[in-house]
Structure 1
Amino acid sequence: MSGLSKYWQICRLSLTNNQGYEFQEITAAQELSQELSSTETINLLLSLFKSKSSVAGLCLRCYVSYSILKSCQKLAALFSSNHNFSYHDLLPFVLNDDGKREIMLAEDGKTQLIIDRDGNTQVSQYKLFTVEIIGSYKSDSSSMSLDNWAFLQTKQHPELKKFLAEFGFQHLSDWAMLNNIGVKQMAQLAPRNRNLIEVFHAVYRRDRRQQKVKRLGKCPNPTQEQLQEMQTLLRERNCIFPSAESVFAALKKVASLLRQYDIWSYREPLEIYEPDSGNYAFRNDLPTENSNNAIASEEQELLNFLQDSLNKALVTAIEQTISTRIAKLNKSGKYRPFAAKFVTGLELYYCQKKSLGEITPLLGFSNWSQARRVLNPGEILNTVRIQTVQQLLTIIWQKTQNLGLTDASPSANYLQSLSIQIEAFADEAVFQAATSEIKSGKHRDLQSLYAQKIRLYCQQSSS
């Protein structure tokens, strides 16, 4: 999916589709979005939605639903390696909008109001996650795009976080993790470490409860006084630690064990009892530092391949798009005189950071509108984006075939899923920043990777 269709096709759950989702066209949203300019669509729709246009809200809900899908796929790609879940398992937590109801926001910007057939509104008892994302997004004060905001909100969704926590993925500090360890996890530790955590709870939890603060925030490091008290209590249990610092180090070691070996997902003891010595030792079947380093090396190699491939695809797409644009101008009787000036126009825009209004007299355009029709940085960017994604898909597909990672004839679902992930990767790496630059008006920074490649093209063309 690309272009304006994102604003009228809503991504919703499907029980019959193997992918777990489907796209449904919303007629009212399609009629409105086709009337809008592609470069200002989101901001205009946000403005209309705040002005009580439920149809504009439908357009935004379609757009955000697609962002939610990409977010779930990204989270699954990050966290599901060697685990028994996929992005399909994440969708039910966050993809709860079928697009059938018209929704508005109350004056507080949070309360969702459902519109009945008579045009009357009432508070909706069913909260749509898409509307929550839209209502909390601040386009005027935030440098974050709506796509990135949707990813952040999806990642922070309470139910989705609980699900990921079952597989050991909790974004917790060492102290928050130790403070919240459960009974099952405690049972898997050696007696000495259980004593350590029990004493930590007795002191640390007590002091946390006694803090007269409504929102405690992050769990801080235990103080020297707390560590000394833990040392004393441990001594009473015949667990000898020579200093408060050694208690601190032991707690950090237990936290590291929990985090490194994903105690929640293994569901087996991290340590085993050795009858001969009477001591507990770490399991030798868990990942070692060397194996972790090997995995990290493979991941880095993959990242390098993706980045190199993206750079090649981007450069090729820029060259092809500009070449095609110049050829099209040459075929036009009206705009043929500007074909030879096209690269100069890009140079003025991206190298000298001049606006279209400033470029108009320099290149002999009759007015700003003519300059925009010829140069049209937004359209060029969109074309480069489409071609980059297509070329990157081809490169990655060939790579996976060469490595024997895919079937010779993959399913349409696989290719679509791969395309969505590549599109999300390219947007985050290149095109979100490039789009924001174009929208920023006179004070454009133009430091995105896309802008750098355009400048390099202009320099090579003039040399």
Structure 2
Amino acid sequence: MEPVDVVDGDIQRELLRWYKEASSKDAERCLLCFISWILKQECVKLKANFANNHKFSLSDLLPYVLNDNGKEPRPGSPECFSRQILQSFDSTKGSSLTTWTIRKFKQYQPLNKFLLECGVYRISDWAILNDTKLPYLTKVLQNFYNWLNSEIQNAECLLQSYHEVYRLERLKDGRRGTHEKCVAPTTLQLQKIAALIAKKSARVVDSQTVIKELQTLASRLREYRIYKRGGSFLGESIDAPIAGNQADDKSKLRIDEISASVADNLLDENYLEGNKAQFIEDFLEFYRQQSQTYLRQALTSVIESRVEYLQRKKGDKAQNFLIALELSECQNIAMTEIAKRLGIRAQDAVSRLLKLKELYADVHQELLKKEVLKNLGNDIFNHLRDINLYSDLESLKALNKQITDALAEDVSTKISVYLCEYLNTRKN
């Protein structure tokens, strides 16, 4: 008798039938193995997309989801994750076991908490924008990012237009439940959003500009959510890995734009002729020198305070902190590997020792507490005034806040760079 080809789906359905109807342990074990395989593949995807930029390894992820020891659980003991998935699966509701497993994987809080600590927030840009209320947006942009009023007004108009098109159509679509994944807006939706923006604010934008502005806004909201939930700053979307350091690129562009604005609007026209490029170069050089000085002072204060605190504890906590900080932030070593090198029992102990979120927040607060950013803006303001090349002092004063806001954003993105420089200098 020749062998009969059997489709994998048919095998799975038969195994599920044996598991449900006959309580077959063999069928259960086969299904649990299949679920574990799916979970491993999802971890591999996470590692490929995010591990390099967020300092975790595959071995960091797997223990969260592959906790099935192959034995029957004892009465009263917690079920392993794969068994929870199998027991909650209902084949009559239309989804496959694969789809259900992936959905539960994405919702699994222990793993999500770890990823959040690494700066990976498992929700799409479109879902973030969909559930963000306007007062919340205004508060974040005002108090956390110090955006200009004009920028906030544009952001409010953008989000409101997004809600009126994307959210409304999503709620009206009878085929799509409100718990379905938020996908990217269609070209038609982007065109409708652009039309609403033009109607509300008289600002003319095309579809490409709309989607770029939406993604930028979602990125800022994502960063804030990660910060509030105790994760590392900056963060990335689970659905959209980001290549390179876009935050550095954005802040650099912001400073360049400020310098060009100064040259175009405030310099004496006679001087500006043939000297604009040189002025911008000098402006940026002065800015770099001043910002490095202030940021290094803040880093020194925060790190030395942390070291002094840990030196009062038992053991080698202060030395381990400095070593772990360099390995994590400067050499991009995963927490699991750092734990091995330091002889610490687990990666979560390293995370508690470093408290990276608090460290970065403390540096930022040190800058604000000492009014460094304000002083930095004033330094540049005075520099421009002293060289006597402006045409309108009042206009220069009005630009001072814009310069300071740009510096606040720029300095925040460069903390990790100067952190590594400081650690290297301290070690030597």
| TM-score, normalising length: structure 2 | 0.36
* Higher RCO, Cα 8 Å, sep 6+: 2
Which structure dedicates a bigger proportion of its chain to strand? 1
